[in-house]
Chains A and B, each alone.
Chain A
């Protein structure tokens, strides 16, 4: 899928940090946070990718890396953005991809990433009395700490 790689590189230029296509049908792209929305709108309108499969995230220590997985024909295209953990704000993609509402809610309550412009960032999967500020998928919340988290009375 080298033409896909070329079509990604062209409009983004310095916003794009890195493109890797280790196997033919698995493309991994990293962009900066500033040019993230341009990248997504280019992927959707320019290249014509129609399906956002999932939004996942990894806690990399000092920063949180959010991964947007797109499915295009038989190629899986992953867009990775790193946000610093101190201020993990990100522009939302729900106006471009309406189906991203649930994924961004999940990323918000498990990793603490804040999506500006999201219609409703209320918790989705965690129990109702779960305290704010405890993000289970962050690395500093290890097993014992999560077990000591007490649920508030709702």
Chain B
């Protein structure tokens, strides 16, 4: 009779295993959900990176404009820093700075007036893109994108006043 069914001990051990299994599935860390802001952030960062490259190229081609454009270029660099995810790992210097990458595709106009016009157009274009990019962003990213867009719109106005 004792052999007919599982021993009490076996049942208890089995129940314990089940409990352990249930427990382990319950506490197993789920794979991290993809951040829905990430593609929006990347898109905005790519646009700002283009502006940074444009300011860099203009400063190289027109040293006489460098002082005038420096504050705007610095703010654009700050926009990029705010948008780029923080560097992971102990050696952030291992990844190359995006602004250090040469951008041979940028053609800088020959005259200062044409340069300012090109910058106005680029800043205004990016400012309008921010408005659509923030539509589906989280509240936190929407605030940041709205502020960056407002700064870019300001740049366009100041550049136009200086041209």
Q: Do A and B actually bind?
A: no
